[in-house]
């Protein structure tokens, strides 16, 4: 039986810490799933990896002419 992949929801580290009693980490999914029913149902949570970028102080490199 082919199952549709459940969408991942990105969550901050503090939120994951609060949800830790309800969720377990699944190595095969590289995500957190609900304990007991997480293999087939419920949300799939991933740690938010986007970090707030600081202003770049160096020269602008996106529009450099090549050659």
31 is in which domain, residue-wise? 8-47
> To 10 degrees, the CA torsion angle through 34, 50, 29, 21?
-20
Residue 57, domain member (yes or no): no
Residue 27, domain member (yes or no): yes
**pLDDT, tens digit, for every residue of 42-67?**
889 999 887 666 666 777 777 666 65
Instruction: Round to whole Å and give the CA distance between 43 and 55.
Output: 35
**Average pLDDT for 10-23:** 92
Residue 67, domain member (yes or no): no
Q: How many domains does the chain have?
A: 1
Residue 53, domain member (yes or no): no
pLDDT bucket at 21, cuts 50 / 70 / 90: very high
Residue 34, domain member (yes or no): yes
């Amino acid at each position: 039986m082919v199952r549709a992949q459940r969408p991942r929801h990105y969550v901050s580290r503090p939120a994951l810490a609060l949800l830790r009693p309800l969720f377990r980490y699944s190595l095969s999914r590289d995500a957190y799933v609900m304990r007991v029913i997480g293999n087939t149902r419920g949300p799939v949570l991933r740690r938010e990896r986007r970090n707030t970028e600081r202003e770049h102080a160096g020269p602008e490199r996106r529009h450099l002419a090549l050659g």
